[in-house]
Amino acid sequence: MKNKKAYLEAIRLLSLFFVLYTHTGNYGMHHYLETSNPLNFWFSQSLVLLSQTCVPLFFMISGAVLLHKESTFKEIWTKRVPRMVIVILLAGLFQYYFNFRLNPDIGFSVKMWLQLTYSGKVCTQHWFLYSYLAFLMILPFLQKLVKSLPEHWFLILLGMQVCIAGILPIVEYYIEYPGISLDIPLFTNCIFYTMLGYYIEHRSKDNFTNLKPLLFWLSGAFVAFLLNLHMQNISLKEHGSLIYNNLFTGLFSFGIFIWFRCAFTRIKLPQWLEKFLCFCGSGVFGTYLLDIPLRNFFEPVYITLNTKIFSYPALFVWLFVCMATGILFINILKLIPGIKKLL
């Protein structure tokens, strides 16, 4: 509790929900492809947009927690980086064994496990671990960088990202120009979103605790949300897929983060609820690593409920059961010496 903030743990839980949701296939993430219900169709497409914020929000939390500190290269390369490498290897071993159990013809090979883990192919959705490892490797650079920047530069960076990643593709579509290739390193997840998280938590002062600026930003995010839905529906009609499903992810992530921060600043939560959020938040990372087996094991929950209640309530119950089980299991597992530092 001493070093944790309840609003960050709440965002962490929301991010975990979105991670699980993005992997639900036609049950949820791609439900718009098979539903004839207009309400389900638009609700599904809306959740597609919101769920794209899962990884950005995780990185924003990391930026809020780590970028204000002073880390030495010795600390990073002797503690944080090796610890993350161990997590990647163990997560790869678990996924390799999980796939081996599902398909005995594969056979178990230490060399194959290491090769697949090294290349990230043992579980493609674990790409986040490699991106986070990259973030840790450059952490001292980023800590120096963000402290030297004027406050308004962070908003300029956000504005540039919204224009280049969001508005420009829409303009290119309507003027029928091919997309321009602008590879801006600052817009990568492990840099851009960690800087945003740091800015909101440590440099924005009271800009996002008062309702007036909050309503301004959320109104902009809502307009962008409607515009993104429009482009997403166009791509669905023309290509049969959602090409424009992450135009304004940066703005949506920013809006979610400042909304939670403002809400938790203005509303005093009971201490037991803060402790509960911190307890749940401490199991999020490990639950993310167990995403696939958790969803597979509890899939009968959705299949059973889907015949009795509406599809989305059944889906949400399924995901909440996965989250609750994973969080409880990970917190119990962390009682083992050495595990707590990894998870």
Residue-wise DSSP of 163-207: IIIIIHHHHHHHTT-PPP----GGGSHHHHHHHHHHIIIIISTTT
Position 39 scores a pLDDT of 86
Tokens of 212: 């007036």
Query: Which helix H or strand E contains 19, and what residues bound it?
Result: helix 6-22
What's the pLDDT tens digit per position in 268-314?
Answer: 889 999 999 999 999 999 999 999 889 999 999 999 998 888 888 99
Q: Which residue type sits at 74?
A: K
Residues 6+ apart with CB under 8 A from 281: 4, 8, 9, 10, 12, 13
Neighbouring residues of 81: CB distance < 8 A, sequence distance ≥ 6: 133, 136, 137
Report CA torsion sign: 324, 133, 248, 213.
positive
Pick the most confident of 97-101, 207-211, 290-294, 306-310: 290-294
- The model's confidence at residue 1, banded by pLDDT at 50, 70 and 90, is low
Q: Which of 28, 100, 98 is nearest to 294 (CA)?
A: 98
152 token code pair: 């308004």
Integer angstrom CA distances of residue 13 from 6, 87, 110, 149: 11, 20, 34, 30
Per-residue confidence band for 133, with pLDDT thresholds at 50, 70 and 90: very high
Report pLDDT for 2.
57
**CA dist 330 → 20, 60, 286, 303, 334 (Å):** 16, 23, 6, 26, 6
pLDDT tens per residue, range 150-168: 999 999 999 999 999 999 9
CA–CA separation, 264 vs 11, rounded Å? Answer: 11
267 closest CA partner among 3, 6, 2: 6
Provide the pLDDT for residue 3. 66
Rounded to an integer, what distance in angstroms lies between the CA atom of residue 269 and that of residue 273?
A: 6
